[in-house]
Amino acid sequence: MRTRNAFPHIPQSVLGTAHHLFSHLALKEAIWFFQRIADGAELPIGHPVLAPRARVTSERLDSVRMPESRHMAYLVRTWNTVHEGRSLDRLVHPPNSAVPIPK
């Protein structure tokens, strides 16, 4: 709920499902991840968590109605990238593609 209240551009059902999945993988990392999705605080330019914030906000400003599966794909891809310590240059999820599996 805190993430949704701070950053209302991602459906609550998607945030709840992602939080549940990620918490079972790494609780402390999941708490940090969703706090940063909510506020983007203290993240350097180019940090992967900023990618879904920017992408979702941009698509909302363009009046694009994103399916929940794309929101979930963005969160999972970002989670995997952060969890593996990699960079994230582009956040793309082609229509009708499978949602990645959180690692």
Domain ranges of the chain: 2-84
- Half-sphere exposure at residue 67, Cβ-oriented, CA atoms within 13 angstroms: 10
**Residue % of the chain over a pLDDT of 90:** 65
* Band of pLDDT at residue 29, cut at 50, 70 and 90: very high
- In the block, tokens 């363009």 appear at 62
Q: For the chain, what is the largest distance between any 2 Cα atoms, rounded to a whole number of angstroms?
A: 34
Alpha carbon distance 99, 101 (integer Å): 7
Per-residue model confidence (pLDDT) at position 5: 84
CB atoms within 10 A of CB 1: 8
Question: Rounded to two decimals, what is the model's pTM?
Answer: 0.90
Pairwise CA distance, residues 79 & 103, whole Å: 8
